[in-house]
């Protein structure tokens, strides 16, 4: 590899790739995870009354737990690929 190419790759790794991940990849991933979690949770919580504050708190807690579980699994599988 030419020295210029190596220098460009180092620049990409240190500056541009972190920005790309932060501004484009993570927001899309977070949206996808939230959508999958919401769809799944909606099927599980159908009989709950979302106008009832107690039920709403339980649904929110369950959604947070589901999102966290999906995020952990994504991280785990990414690490396995390395």
Q: Where are the domains of the chain?
A: 3-81
Question: What pTM was estimated for this model as a whole?
Answer: 0.74
pLDDT at 50: 66
Average pLDDT over residues 4-9: 86
* Token pair belonging to 9: 């790759």
- Determine contact, residues 59/41, Cβ cutoff 8 Å: yes
* Token pair belonging to 71: 């995020």
CA 27 – CA 29 distance, rounded (Å): 5
First-last CA distance in the chain: 23
More confident residue, 82 or 80: 80
């Amino acid at each position: 590899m030419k020295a210029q190419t190596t220098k460009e790759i180092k620049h990409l790794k240190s500056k541009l790739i972190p920005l790309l991940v932060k501004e484009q990849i993570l927001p899309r991933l977070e949206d996808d995870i939230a959508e999958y979690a919401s769809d799944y949770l909606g099927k599980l919580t159908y009989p709950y009354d979302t106008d009832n504050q107690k039920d709403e708190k339980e649904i929110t807690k369950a959604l947070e737990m589901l999102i966290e579980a999906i995020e952990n699994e994504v991280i785990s599988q990414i690490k396995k690929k390395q």
